[in-house]
Amino acid sequence: MKYKRILLKLSGEALMGDRQYGIDPNRLAEYAEDIKAVTEKGVEVAIVIGGGNIFRGVAGASKGMDRVQSDHMGMLATVINGLALQDALEQANVKTRLQTAIKINEVAEPFIRRKAMAHLNKGRVVIFGGGTGNPYFTTDSAAVLRAIEIEADVILKGTRVDGIYNSDPEKNTDAIKYDHISFDDVLRKGLKVMDTTAFTLSQENELPIIVFDMNTRGNLMKVVSGDAIGTTVN
């Protein structure tokens, strides 16, 4: 395996499958099997998941809700998704821990860096819920922050498209895909990979990002094996 420890970033919307909202159990089970496959190869896996399939703080704020209040609702949505993913993984016989940036001791451990790293060393998948625990920060920022803290080798951003393009490939059939691109070129070209705070944090800490299609079965294994799929930003 090319990578020993990874941080997998999943969007909440990815869990919807073909639904309009909520969680698709079939999609969840597929993700669990793909994650299980890489753990069986000895790869240490941490996961940050969004909450956009349930509630998105920015959307609530745009409709007049207090931004801090709506962001806290979004954090709780990520915990719900984390619980769902934890259950799917454990049904696939993968040992898992859910840690949250906000204290919900009855359902998850609080985030403690040393505990997270100990779990990873023991082969457990660690899911980080609750974002960073602070309003105004996205789950992209949480993913980069946690990846740096646990000393991950790479951030794998699983999306529904197979990499980074010069324009939206779902709207423009002539969009050009990049196999490799530098952090500076992403910024210069104005490409949307992560929000600016998360992206800058990744760049400053020289942490590579790979954007790939998580919805194609087996792609996660290919990425951690070093196969040339998706787009690598470094």
What residue segments make up the domains of the chain, in order of their start?
5-233
Q: Can you tell me which residue has the tokens 């931004």?
A: 67
**pLDDT the model gives residue 137:** 95
Beta bridge partners of 157: 9, 211
Instruction: Identify the H or E element spanning 209.
Output: strand 209-213
- 9 touches 155 (CB < 8 A): yes
Residues of the chain with pLDDT under 70: 57
Pairing mode, strands 209-213 and 231-233? antiparallel
* DSSP code per residue over 97-125: EEEESS--TTTSEEP-HHHHHHHHHTT-E
**pLDDT the model gives residue 19:** 84
* 5-233: CATH number: 3.40.1160.10
**pLDDT the model gives residue 57:** 67
**pLDDT the model gives residue 181:** 95
